[in-house]
Structure 1
Amino acid sequence: METRSFADYLRALDDQALLALFALRPDLVSPVPPEFSSLAIRASSSPSLARAIDSLNEWQFQVLEACAALKEPFTEKEIIALTDASAKFVIPHLLALALIYGGPKGYWLPNSLREVLGN
């Protein structure tokens, strides 16, 4: 399945992935969003993204910055080429935080992430 939007990506997450997202980013569920498009708007808002970015360690942040430097959709191979082979272990965490989204065919960034990073 090709991901067409951030809301589509969130809508396709299974219950376990959604629970993990809400545990990592509790600001997304207070108040409870009425639908996935509202969740996507909240999750891609600058304040919410900034809080999620603040939770990253230095290496995770560097990998996220490398993602932001790439043209979308970008691949794991491109991320590794800009960073290091160990970046492949950071990608699942960035996905769990919804700081990147997509899958094996490519990844995207939530709309305002580059702006929050200052890119």
Structure 2
Amino acid sequence: MALGAHRIPPGKAWQDPAVVFAPSVLRLMERVTEEPHPDYVGLLSGHGASRPGRVELSARGRIFVGERRYPKGSPSPEPETFMTTAELAQKFRANSEGILAHECVEAILEALQGLEKVGDIRGLMRLL
């Protein structure tokens, strides 16, 4: 919650000790409380992909609420949880940044988007 509140995009940075243990993140973590979703079991029983979550943020004398039943990228009956090819490509780019060269990342994405045309998978695996 504290990382999200710091507007750090979800990704590998959320695992970086320098980010996780930054003083401002730690201070905010002390102010965060958590408890199970009030209808977690019932919603989970209703659909196997359901992972209900609810966030209540108290700020400036108001309570802001956000709720989702399915996480982004999960197979669900809600189309807004599906990830587009562009979203998946962007996620791969973000998570491979600093690990793979930009040219390599783009070559991997191009190969994956035309996987049916790849004659020998070994070339793709070498890129990965």
TM-score interval, smaller chain: under 0.3
> TM-score w.r.t. structure 1 length?
0.28
Greater RCO, CA 8 A, separation 6+: 1
TM-score normalised according to structure 2 size: 0.26
Which is richer in helix? 1
Larger radius of gyration: 2
